Amino acid sequence: MQKPIPPDVVLVSDFKESNKTLYLYFEAGQGYLFKGAVEAFVTQLKTQLPVLFDGHAYQLRSQQLEDELDDKQQQALLPAYDLAETLNIEITQTENNFLLHALIDGKPYRAAELKGFDEEIQKQCIDGFDQVEEALNQGLTHFPLLQHEYMDAGKRLNTEVANKHLDPLINALKQQFAKSPEITAYLDALQENLVSKLHLFWDQTDDQVTSNTQSSMDELLAEQQGLAVFEVNVLVDNRDLKHAPVIYEQNATMPKLFGYAINSASANSTDSVSLAMNHQAGLLQQANGGYLILSIQALLKDPEIWSNLKAALMSRKLSFEIPSTSNVVAYHLPDYPLSLTLVLVGQSVHFYTLQEIDAQFSRLFKVQVEFEVELARTPEHEMTLAQQLASEIDIWDDLPVDLSAYERLIEFASRMAEDENRLYTNKAILRDVLAEANAFARANGQECVTRDTVEATILQREFHTGLMEEYYHRAITEQQVLITTQGEHIGMVNGLTVLTVGRQSFGQPVRITAQASAGDEGVLDIEREVEMAGPIHSKGMLILSGFLRGRYMKQRALGFSGSIVMEQSYNGVDGDSASSAELLALLSSLAQLPMRQDIAITGSINQFGDIQPIGGVNEKIEGFYKICSARGLTGQQGVIIPQANVCHLMLNAEVINAVSQGQFHVYTMSHIDFALGLLTGVDAGQPNELGDFPEGSVNARVVKALEKMNEKDD
C-alpha cells in the first residue's frame, strides 16, 4: 500500500504560553506559502500601522480623549476655583504645579509679599490660601482615576482601530490557509498578539502610544526583539514530493537525524523563540510519514545515536531539548509525533551484532530481509539486466552500445559470480566497465561499443591492477620461485592457489613436495609445525591422514613417517583446496612414482577420496596457464579441477582459445584415483572384495611400499 504525501510542518510561536512554540500542519506545498503570506502580512503592517495611527481620523479621536480628560480634570478642580473666587484668591496653573495669589485692591500678592499689610489682612489671606490649597488637593485626588480611564480608553481606541484594519487581512489568511481548527486558533492568537504589541510597529517617541507602555529600558530592548514571535519556520517542506518521502543517509549523525540550529545573529539572543525559529529539521522529521533508510554501520559507530533513535522509535515521538553550546543557548521545541518506516541496511554481521547487544532490537525491527547478490542466469534475467543497464546509461552523452557488448557484460557478470549459471547483480561494477569501454572506444576512434571493446576494457582493467600478479609471475618465469611445467618428478606436485590484492584476485601455482620413509610419526605438516598454517589447512591434513588409514590400513597398522610442505611459501597458508595435491605428492613419494609437472591440480578431499569443490577456480586455471604460456605451450599442459566446479568455469578468451585448439587442457575429477592415474600414467587401481588392489596399480604400489617399511628385521 502506497503511503500518501505527508503534510508540511510549520513551527510558530505559541502565543498562549511565553517562550513556547507549536506545530501547524498544512497540505504539502502550503507550508512555504503560509510562511510567505505571514511574513508579507507582518511587513505590510510595518508600513500601514504608522500611517493608520498618524491619520486624521485616529488623531481626531485621540484628541477627543485628551479633551475629555482635560474637561474632567477641570470639573474636578472647579470647586477649588469657585472657592478661590469667593475668597479673592487667584489660581495660576503651571506645567507642574499651582500658584496662589491674594487679590488686594485688584492686585495679586504671594504669601511672602503680605508682610506689608496689617495682621488681620495677612491672617485672612493665609486662611484663604489654606482653604484653596485643600480644595485643590481634594480635586487632584480624582486625577489618577481619570488618567487610568483615559489610558483604558486609549487602549480600546487602539484595539478598535487596529482590529478594524487587521480583521480583513486575518480573514484573508484564514480563507486561504485555515483548513484546521489549530490554524484558525493560531491566526486569532496572532491578531490578538499583534494588537498587544502595536508599539513595535512605529516610532517609539510617539507620546500617545508610549504612554501606554511603562517599560524599563531592558524591557524595551526585549520588545525590540519581539517581532521574532511573528516569524514562521517551515521545518518540513514537501512541496516537491510526488509520493511519500524516501530518504537514504549513509553517514548519519546526531544533528542530521534529530535537527540542529543554524548559527545566526539571533543565536546570541537569550530569546528561546528566536533560537527555535532557526532550528532545522532532522532526517527523522523530514522522512516522517514516509521511509528513512540508514546505514546500520553508522549507528554502531556512535552509541549516542542508537540510544536516542531507539527512544524515539519506542515512544513514537521526538523530544527536543537543545543543550547550550558555545554558539547557541538552550531552547525547547514541542514533542514531535513520529510515524515512519525505518529501514536499516548493511552487512548481516552488523545486524546480528546489534541483536546481541540490545535485546530490544528485535522488538523494533521485526522484519529482516537478506538480499541475494546473484541471480539465476536465465534468458529473462539476462534481458532484464541488459535493459536496466541500457536505461541507466541512456542519459550518458556517449557512443551507442552494440548488443554484443551487453552479451560480454553478461558473461562478465557470470565471471564475477564464479558460476556460468549465475549472474552477479552489482550494476555499479557493470556500469563502470561500460563507462571505461566508452572511453576506450572514443580513444581508439570507434563509432560504437562492441563486444571486442568490452573485452579489451576488461583486459585493460586487469593490466591496470595487475602489478602484483606480474611480480609473482615474473618470479616464477625467472626461476626465483621454482615451478616446473614440464617433465616428471617423484614427490612433487603443482598445486594452485589464489592471491587477493585490493580488488584484484589472481591464480598462482605453488610447488607441493612430500617425503616418506619408514617410521611411525605419520604425516607431518611442516606448515603447521612452524605455525604458518591456518586451522582449515590443518583440518585438511588430518582428513588426508584419515584417507590413508581408511584406504591402506584397514587390515593392519602400517606405520610410516612423511612430511608435506608448500615450497617457498612465506606468508602462511590456509584453506583445504590443496589437500588433493598434498595427498598426490605423498602417494608419489610412498610409491616412488613420478608425477607429471605439466599438470597442476586443485581440489579438497574427504576421507573417502572424493573431491570437493573449491573457490577461485577460474583464477587458478588462468594463473597456471599464464606461466605455461610464458614458457611456451607444449600441448600437454593443463589443470585438474573438481567435477563440481565445472559450472563455475567462466574463463577468459585466451584460455578458451587455447583449450579449443588443444594447446591447454582442463580435466575434471570426482575422485582422487583419476588424478593418480593421469599424473603417474599408471592405473590407480580399484580394490576388489577383499580390499586388495590390482598388481602394478598405483594403490598396490603404495600398499607394497608401506608393507616394506613395516617389515621387521629377523
Most confident of 497-511, 519-533, 617-631: 617-631
| Residue with more model confidence, 265 or 331 | 331
Mean pLDDT within 608-636: 92
In angstroms, the Cα distances linking 541 to 507, 560, 584, 709 are: 22, 15, 12, 22
Q: Cα–Cα distance between 75 and 419 in angstroms, integer?
A: 111
Most confident of 521-535, 634-648, 681-695: 634-648
| CA-derived radius of gyration, the chain | 49
Mean pLDDT within 38-66: 86
In angstroms, the Cα distances linking 122 to 112, 125, 127, 286, 349 are: 10, 5, 9, 90, 112
For residue 584, give the nearest of 669, 645, 506, 648 by alpha carbon: 669
For residue 334, give the nearest of 14, 691, 701, 706 by alpha carbon: 14
Q: Cα–Cα distance between 712 and 58 in angstroms, integer?
A: 134
**Residue 230 corresponds to which cell in the numbers above?**
511573528
Q: Cα–Cα distance between 395 and 239 in angstroms, integer?
A: 26
| pLDDT tens digits for range 85-129 | 888 888 888 777 888 888 887 888 787 777 778 878 878 888 888
Tell me what pLDDT residue 222 has.
52
Which DSSP helix (H) or strand (E) runs through 435? Answer: helix 427-443
Residue 537: Cβ within 10 Å count: 22
Give yes or no for residue 210 having a pLDDT over 60: no
**Close Cβ partners of 151 (under 8 Å, ≥ 6 residues apart):** 211, 212
Return the minimum-mean-pLDDT range out of 101-110, 305-314, 433-442. Answer: 101-110
Map out the domains of the chain with their CATH numbers.
1-232 (no CATH), 374-464 (1.10.8.60), 471-709 (3.30.230.10)
Tell me what pLDDT residue 62 has.
83
Tell me what pLDDT residue 30 has.
93
**Close Cβ partners of 459 (under 8 Å, ≥ 6 residues apart):** 652
Mean pLDDT within 333-345: 91
Apex 457 CA angle, 456 and 463, nearest 5: 90
For residue 514, give the DSSP letter.
Answer: E
Tell me what pLDDT residue 321 has.
63
Give yes or no for residue 404 having a pLDDT over 70: yes
270 pLDDT tier (thresholds 50, 70, 90) = low
Tell me what pLDDT residue 294 has.
92
Scanning 260-318, the segments in alpha helix (DSSP H) are 272-276, 283-286, 296-301, 303-315
- For 281, the 3-state DSSP assignment is coil
215 pLDDT tier (thresholds 50, 70, 90) = very low
Return the minimum-mean-pLDDT range out of 18-27, 75-84, 199-208, 659-668. Answer: 199-208
Mean pLDDT within 310-324: 79
Q: Give me the residues paired with residue 92 across strands.
A: 99
Write phi, then psi, for 228 (nearest 5 degrees). -60, -25
Q: Cα–Cα distance between 218 and 154 in angstroms, integer?
A: 24
Tell me what pLDDT residue 657 has.
93
Tell me what pLDDT residue 186 has.
93
Return the minimum-mean-pLDDT range out of 66-70, 188-192, 340-344, 437-441. Answer: 66-70
Mean pLDDT within 662-687: 92
Give yes or no for residue 325 having a pLDDT over 60: no
Residue % of the chain over a pLDDT of 90: 29
Scanning 592-632, the segments in alpha helix (DSSP H) are 617-631
Give yes or no for residue 269 having a pLDDT over 60: no
CA 241 and chain centroid, separation: 20
Give yes or no for residue 161 having a pLDDT over 70: yes
Per-state percent for the chain, helix, strand, coil, to nearest 5: 50, 20, 30
Tell me what pLDDT residue 266 has.
45
| pLDDT tens digits for range 570-584 | 676 767 788 899 999
Most confident of 218-222, 458-462, 536-540, 664-668: 664-668
Return the minimum-mean-pLDDT range out of 54-63, 430-439, 489-498, 592-601. Answer: 54-63
Q: Cα–Cα distance between 573 and 564 in angstroms, integer?
A: 13
Tell me what pLDDT residue 206 has.
45
Q: What's the order of all strands across the beta sheet hosting 107-109?
A: 89-93, 98-104, 107-109
**Close Cβ partners of 588 (under 8 Å, ≥ 6 residues apart):** 490, 491, 492, 493, 514, 594, 595, 679, 680
Write phi, then psi, for 315 (nearest 5 degrees). -90, -10
Q: Cα–Cα distance between 542 and 520 in angstroms, integer?
A: 16
Mean pLDDT within 418-434: 86
Query: Mean pLDDT in the chain?
Result: 84
Residue 519 zone, left/alpha/beta (φ > 0; ψ -120 to 50; rest) = left
| Active site (catalytic) residues | 577, 620
In angstroms, the Cα distances linking 192 to 186, 189, 227, 230 are: 10, 5, 14, 12
The answer to whether the CB of 308 falls within 8 A of the CB of 254 is yes
Tell me what pLDDT residue 213 has.
42
Tell me what pLDDT residue 219 has.
52
CA 24 and chain centroid, separation: 28
Give yes or no for residue 216 having a pLDDT over 60: no
Return the minimum-mean-pLDDT range out of 115-124, 195-204, 487-496, 509-518. Answer: 195-204
The answer to whether the CB of 537 falls within 8 A of the CB of 543 is no
Give yes or no for residue 207 having a pLDDT over 60: no
Return the minimum-mean-pLDDT range out of 212-221, 333-342, 396-405, 438-447. Answer: 212-221
Most confident of 192-201, 273-282, 608-617: 608-617
- The CA-to-CA distance between both ends of the chain, in Å, stands at 90
- 607-610: Cβ within 8 A, 24+ apart: 607/543, 607/546, 607/547, 607/550, 608/547, 608/550, 609/547, 609/551, 609/671, 609/672, 609/673, 610/670, 610/671, 610/672
For residue 648, give the nearest of 685, 622, 628 by alpha carbon: 622
For residue 571, give the nearest of 478, 462, 481 by alpha carbon: 481
Mean pLDDT within 74-84: 83
Tell me what pLDDT residue 488 has.
93
